[in-house]
């Protein structure tokens, strides 16, 4: 007998409809069944089978009704029930090659983001697992890998909208530390005396600012005015969406 699957909230975006009947053959787990229709287990937050709370490993025999929800903090505050451990603290990410602009925005806000423009799926998955990072990818096949525990597929095409999604999903609002990480290479920024960088900054900047920082890795110099407008705009986006506890 087929299994009736009902999905809720943002999970509908991944399968294209709220309800579907899945042909059933041999007994299989809930997570395997949902994966077969394109729902990565890292996107799931709460499961019901025939109205009862279920784990992803629950074995299905056919004819069941499965309800799949995203992390419930997106629907109700402090739901209390979680299928997986909370996301790692501090929030650290690994992004696929299609999310370069989102990478820069997250780094501007102080988040540790691993990004390589030519990284393949195997490398991304390995970094996520070995370094305990949250994987952000538009590639659902990558997120469907069994080793990926914490991950999310941004639905939007616009980087600002993607940031809003990630901020809401992982509660980034109170975790932002602007101008503490290099946008170029992800290195930590260290405060330096103005005299140390006079020869490395534009003449007009020398008289306008007194606070400077340098990347500990690539040596790029930063000052407040360089990214202030962008940071203020990005922070407004995050503050509007990312003040919750954050899900998986």
Domain count, the chain: 3
Q: How confident is the model at residue 245 (pLDDT cuts 50, 70, 90)?
A: low
List C-alpha distances in Å: 176 to 45, 50, 167, 235, 239.
Answer: 24, 41, 10, 8, 10
pLDDT at 75 over 70: no
Which three-class secondary structure state does DSSP give residue 82? coil
What is the structure's pLDDT at 86? 85
113, 198: one domain: no
The 3-state DSSP class for residue 212 equals strand
The CATH number covering residue 56 comes to: 3.10.20.30
The mean per-residue pLDDT over the stretch 219-230 comes to: 84
CATH number at residue 173: 3.40.50
How far CA 26 is from CA of 1, 13, 32, 59, 192, in Å, comes to 10, 28, 12, 10, 64
pLDDT at 180 over 80: yes
Q: Does residue 247 belong to any structural domain of this protein?
A: no
Question: CB of 137 within 8 A of CB of 143?
Answer: yes
pTM of the entire predicted model: 0.89
CA distance 29 to 154: 26
Q: Are 64 and 141 found together in one domain?
A: no
For residues 141 and 235, membership in a common domain is answered with yes
Exposed/middle/buried for residue 38 (C-beta within 10 Å: 0-12, 13-18, 19+)? middle
Q: How confident is the model at residue 71 (pLDDT cuts 50, 70, 90)?
A: confident
Distance (Å, rounded) from C-alpha 121 to C-alpha 80?
A: 33
Identify whether 210 is part of a domain: yes
Q: Give the chain's end-to-end CA distance (angstroms, integer).
A: 32
Mean pLDDT of the chain: 91
Which of 43, 74, 105 represents a domain boundary (last residue)? 74
The range of the structural domain enclosing residue 156 comes to: 92-179+230-241
Specify the pLDDT at position 236.
Answer: 82
> Over 90: is that where the pLDDT of 88 sits?
yes
Peptide bond into 90 cis (omega under 30): yes
pLDDT at position 228: 79
Cα(159)–Cα(10) distance, integer angstroms: 18
CA triple 178-180-182, angle to 5 deg:
105
Q: Is the pLDDT of residue 206 over 80?
A: yes
| Average pLDDT, integer, range 211-239 | 87
Domain identity same for 213 and 143: no
Whether 205 maps to a domain, the answer reads yes
- Same domain assignment for residues 63 and 101: no
Same domain, 52 and 149: no
Q: For tokens 């019901």, what's the residue?
A: 48
Per-residue pLDDT, 248: 54
Residue 22's SS3 state is strand
Q: Check whether residue 147 and residue 236 sit in a common domain.
A: yes
How far is residue 136's CA from residue 50's CA, in Å, rounded to a whole number?
32
Which of 82-96, 127-141, 222-236 comes out lowest in average pLDDT? 222-236
Confidence of residue 60 (pLDDT cuts 50, 70, 90): very high
- Predicted local distance difference test score (pLDDT) of residue 113: 99
Structure confidence by residue, pLDDT tens digits, 116-154: 999 999 999 999 999 999 999 999 999 999 999 999 999
């Amino acid at each position: 007998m087929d299994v009736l699957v009902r999905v809720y909230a943002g999970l509908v975006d991944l399968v294209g409809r709220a309800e579907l009947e899945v042909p059933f053959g041999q007994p299989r787990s809930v997570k395997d069944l949902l994966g077969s229709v394109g729902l990565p287990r890292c996107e799931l937050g709460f499961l019901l089978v025939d109205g009862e709370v279920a784990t992803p490993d629950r074995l299905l025999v056919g004819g069941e009704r499965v309800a799949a929800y995203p992390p419930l903090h997106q629907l109700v505050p402090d739901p209390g029930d979680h299928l997986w451990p909370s996301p790692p603290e501090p929030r650290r990410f690994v992004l696929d090659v299609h999310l370069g602009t989102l990478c820069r925005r997250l780094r501007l806000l102080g988040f540790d983001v691993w990004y390589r423009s030519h990284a393949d799926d195997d490398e991304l998955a390995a970094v996520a697992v070995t370094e305990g990072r949250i994987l952000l990818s538009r590639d659902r096949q990558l997120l469907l890998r069994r080793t990926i525990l914490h991950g999310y597929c941004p639905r939007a095409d616009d980087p600002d909208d993607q940031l809003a999604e990630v901020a809401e999903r992982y509660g980034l609002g109170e975790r932002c530390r602007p101008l503490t990480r290099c946008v170029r290479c992800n290195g930590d920024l260290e405060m330096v005396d103005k005299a140390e960088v006079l020869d490395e900054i534009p003449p007009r900047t020398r008289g306008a600012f007194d606070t400077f920082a340098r990347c500990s890795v690539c040596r790029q110099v930063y000052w407040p005015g360089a990214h202030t407008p962008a940071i203020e705009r990005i922070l407004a986006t995050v503050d509007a969406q990312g003040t919750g506890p954050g899900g998986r």
